[in-house]
Amino acid sequence: MLGSLHAVRAGRPRVILLAVAAALTAAGIAGVLLLAGSRPPGEARAALRAGGGDRWPAERGFETPARLPDLGPAWAPPLEAAGRPIARRLEVGRGDTLMAMLVGAGIPRAEAHEAIQRLRGRFDPRDLRPGQALLVELAPRAEGGVRLASLALDVDFARRLRLERTADGFAVRDMVLPVVRRPRLVTGVVEDSLYVAGRARGVPDRVLMELVRLLSWDVDFQRDLQPGDRFEILWEELERTDGGARRVGEVLYGRLQVAGREIAFYRFERADGRVRYYGPDGRSLRKALLRTPVDGARISSRFGKRRHPILGYTRMHKGVDFAAPRGTPVYAAGDGVVTYAGRKGGYGIYARIRHNGRYATTYAHMSRLARGIRRGVRVRQGQVIGYVGSTGRSTGPHLHFEVLVDGRQVNPLRIRQPSSERLAGRELERFRRTVAAIDALRARLARTDLLASRE
């Protein structure tokens, strides 16, 4: 410093003053940074400004931690740095496979294959659904990279599979998750449609569809249901205690007052584990044939004489047409054997099912048959046999449905069918106890709702 001043006196003031200024500035900033290093971020920033740093852009690092690059949901910091296993949540996307997801998380392909093979006895990886979540734990390897420590997968609402590394490879545990069951009771009056009335009262879609399905053996919802008809429905809501996830449970009871009559049913589990719905007298709701083999369809043409929309003249329409979007599943109306499956003239893609010595049903104008449906195959009531289309002599997507009794077409909407089953003996006694328990639950919930409405 003294040398610099002596140089000024010697006649080189401009150059030396610039050098002195630079030296002082560098010394000042260094001092401020040393000071800032021992202070909290807020004080450090103030110290920097005091040293002339207010002419610099503000440094984000003093306020927030640096942002990591967005590398997607499978990214995590290097495990070698973490020093312990780290959990990652992987969500299944459309087209994802379990192998691709595990390899994408950094697990060696051979190890991923071993883990999948261990799971196969309990879960088919092809059953993964978009939106389903997997929780994996990855452990660091000494030589670098990672290995799979564990994997957890919810295969059902109340069931979880957990795969864990052992000394011999992998072991799989089946875990039952704790669930709380809460009954819900709703009553209402139909003004426009049962669906609109139910949704207005907070009944979930799945419950309403089940109610319609169970009553469709006895009720033509387009013709029989009138404004002022009343309904009642009791179902369970399930909630997991580990995180609050909810879902709709089983329908326990239903009642519909329609066309001057009342139809009611109760859910009952038989001694052999089969679950069925029965009327108060123990007669099964299930009939030999479904009235409507397509969900959510409207009747576009009824049984009887009509003017043919393509041929242009009046002829007998020997079935019922159900209009529905192309691709809507078509269900077998009853148990039986497929006697025809393929194209059939103006009927387009067509199937015929023989149910017993007297009854048969036919399905026409489908877009395609379901996989495995061919002549000689046995099908069950409610099994998907094809999909709505407009093949053959057709003006738009619909299903032409016929019921034959002793080889003659009859009106599917007017056929009277006996119940396929009636309880007796000990099963009837058990059913009556179930009825009493459900009726007591209905009465309790109704009292609770009444008290709540008065508050």
Q: How confident is the model at residue 187 (pLDDT cuts 50, 70, 90)?
A: very high
The answer to whether the CB of 423 falls within 8 A of the CB of 271 is no
Q: How confident is the model at residue 371 (pLDDT cuts 50, 70, 90)?
A: very high
The answer to whether the CB of 188 falls within 8 A of the CB of 231 is yes
Distance from C-alpha of 89 to C-alpha of 308, rounded to nearest angstrom? 59
Query: Of 36-45, 190-199, 272-281, 425-434, which range is least confident?
Result: 36-45
Instruction: Specify the fold of 298-410.
Output: Glucose Permease (Domain IIA) (2.70.70)
The reply to whether domains 80-176 and 178-287+422-455 share a CATH topology is: yes
The token pair that represents 258 in the structure block: 């329609």
The token pair that represents 345 in the structure block: 């003239």
The answer to whether the CB of 185 falls within 8 A of the CB of 232 is yes
Arithmetic mean of pLDDT, 306-312: 57
For the chain, the residue count is 455
Q: How high is the pLDDT of residue 267? A: 97
The answer to whether the CB of 181 falls within 8 A of the CB of 194 is no
**0.75 exceeded by pTM:** no
DSSP 127: G
The answer to whether the CB of 262 falls within 8 A of the CB of 256 is yes
Residue 49 phi/psi, 5-degree rounding, is -65, -40
Q: How high is the pLDDT of residue 157? A: 82
The answer to whether the CB of 266 falls within 8 A of the CB of 436 is no
Q: Which CATH architecture has domain 178-287+422-455?
A: Roll (3.10)
> pLDDT tens digit string along 283-301?
998 877 887 888 767 788 8
Any idea where the domains of the chain sit in the sequence? 2-53, 80-176, 178-287+422-455, 298-410
Residue found under tokens 């426009």: 192
Q: How high is the pLDDT of residue 263? A: 92
Q: Which residues contact 108 (CB under 8 A, 6 or more apart)?
A: 145, 147
Instruction: Specify the fold of 80-176.
Output: Nuclear Transport Factor 2; Chain: A, (3.10.450)
Arithmetic mean of pLDDT, 384-395: 93
Q: How high is the pLDDT of residue 49? A: 35
At 165, is the secondary structure helix, strand, or coil? Answer: strand
Percent over 70 (pLDDT), the chain? 76
> pLDDT tens digit string along 241-250?
877 678 899 9
CB atoms within 10 A of CB 360: 24
Distance from C-alpha of 189 to C-alpha of 409, rounded to nearest angstrom? 36
Q: Looking at per-residue confidence, does 93 or 73 come out higher?
A: 93
User: Does the pLDDT at position 67 exceed 50?
Assistant: no
User: Does the pLDDT at position 395 exceed 70?
Assistant: yes
Query: Of 206-210, 301-305, 322-326, 416-420, which range is least confident?
Result: 416-420
Q: How high is the pLDDT of residue 14? A: 41
Residue found under tokens 């007052």: 257
Burial of 344 (0-12, 13-18, 19+ CB in 10 A): middle
> pLDDT tens digit string along 257-284?
987 889 999 999 999 998 999 999 999 9
- Averaged pLDDT of the chain: 78
